[in-house]
């Protein structure tokens, strides 16, 4: 078991390997995503047991739109179903849901469910759960840049006032601590355009486990690895 001292405050997750999990079992890719959604629910239970306050998961990237139509449709249907279940369960738990990404591309009926879930859970404060959907890190940086440029253009901000803090305040999801741990499953060792600004000093742990198989044991391993690393933030003191 990982020690409970120096637990990460914010865990970001790239839930990779759903397709390979399904392929290994001779199942359609969708079966991997479905099992992946179950693994995500288990993961959320575990982080709440540990009292970890912030989680951000990569559910669908801006690049994922180029996947075959049937797979996108299957993922969107899974999202519809997951949203419905979470709206029903919203009163029973203490999770605040927050979606980040270019949601203009998401179907209107799904977007309505997303907004409903966000509204229903707006006052919860147990776990701040961010779901990156139709999300790209570069796109987020452009989004912030445009917001800042607009403020400068309208004389609401002086160009000399632009700082890292100001920039951060204009990202999709301002006000939360940056992830201190990133977990990516399935053996891939890339960031893949996830949270480019926010991951600057994040400890990264890459596990071979395929996301649908992710268990409490994997979370424990990732946290133990996180705790072993001395975190210096580029200076001599942590």
Task: Tell me the per-residue interface mask from 184 to 203 with ligand FPP, x by CB under 6 A, - otherwise.
Answer: --x-----------------
Per CB under 6 A, does 135 bind ligand FPP?
no
51, 64, 104, 155: the catalytic one is: 64
Q: Site residues for ligand FPP, window 65-124 (CB under 6 A)? A: 75, 78-79, 82
From the list 60, 129, 172, 226, which residue makes contact with ligand FPP (rule: CB under 6 A)?
Answer: 60
Nearer residue to ligand FPP within complex by CB, 43 or 128: 43
Question: Residue of minimal CB distance from ligand FPP?
Answer: 19
Q: How far is CA 238 from CA 179, 229, 235, in A?
A: 16, 10, 7
Nearer residue to ligand FPP within complex by CB, 7 or 136: 136
Q: Reply yes or no on whether 64 is catalytic.
A: yes
CA 85, CA 93: separation in Å to the nearest integer? 12
CA 57, CA 131: separation in Å to the nearest integer? 5
Cα 184 to chain centroid, rounded: 11
Dihedral pair phi/psi, residue 129, rounded to 5°: -110, 110
Q: Reply yes or no on whether 154 is catalytic.
A: no
Burial-class residue 35 by CB neighbours within 10 Å (0-12, 13-18, 19+). buried
Q: Please answer whether residues 186 and 212 qualify as being in contact, where contact means their C-beta atoms are separated by less than 8 angstroms.
A: no
From the list 11, 12, 17, 134, which residue makes contact with ligand FPP (rule: CB under 6 A)?
Answer: 17
CA 132, CA 66: separation in Å to the nearest integer? 17
Per CB under 6 A, does 173 bind ligand FPP?
no
Nearer residue to ligand FPP within complex by CB, 28 or 151: 28
What's the half-sphere exposure (Cβ side, CA atoms, 13 Å) at 170?
20
| Residue 83: CB minimum distance to ligand FPP, A | 8
From the list 11, 12, 40, 95, which residue makes contact with ligand FPP (rule: CB under 6 A)?
Answer: 40
CA 180, CA 201: separation in Å to the nearest integer? 7
Binding footprint of ligand FPP, residue count (CB under 6 A):
19
Cα 158 to chain centroid, rounded: 32
Q: Which residues would be at the binding site for ligand FPP (CB under 6 A)?
A: 15-20, 33, 36-37, 40, 59-60, 64, 75, 78-79, 82, 186, 211
Catalytic sites, residue numbers: 16, 64
């Amino acid at each position: 078991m990982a020690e409970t001292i120096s637990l990460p405050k914010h865990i970001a997750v790239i839930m990779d390997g759903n397709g390979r999990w399904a392929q290994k079992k001779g199942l359609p890719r969708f079966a991997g995503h479905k099992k992946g959604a179950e693994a995500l629910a288990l993961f959320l239970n575990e982080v709440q047991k540990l009292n970890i306050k912030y989680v951000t998961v990569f559910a669908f990237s801006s690049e994922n739109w180029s996947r075959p139509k049937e797979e996108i449709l299957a993922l969107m249907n899974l999202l519809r179903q997951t949203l419905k279940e979470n709206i029903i369960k919203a009163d029973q738990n203490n999770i605040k849901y927050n979606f980040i990404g270019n949601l203009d591309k998401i179907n209107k009926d799904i977007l309505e469910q997303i907004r409903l879930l966000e509204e229903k859970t707006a006052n919860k404060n147990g776990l701040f759960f961010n779901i990156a959907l139709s999300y790209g890190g570069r796109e987020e940086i452009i989004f912030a840049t445009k917001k800042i440029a607009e403020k400068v253009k309208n004389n609401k901000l002086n160009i000399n006032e632009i700082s890292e803090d100001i920039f951060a305040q204009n990202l999709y999801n301002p006000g939360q601590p940056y992830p201190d741990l990133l977990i990516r499953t399935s053996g891939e060792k890339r960031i893949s355009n996830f949270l480019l600004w926010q991951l600057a000093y994040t400890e990264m742990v890459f596990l071979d486990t395929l996301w649908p198989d992710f268990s409490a044991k994997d979370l424990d391993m990732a946290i133990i690895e996180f705790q072993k690393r001395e975190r210096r933030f580029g200076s001599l003191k942590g």
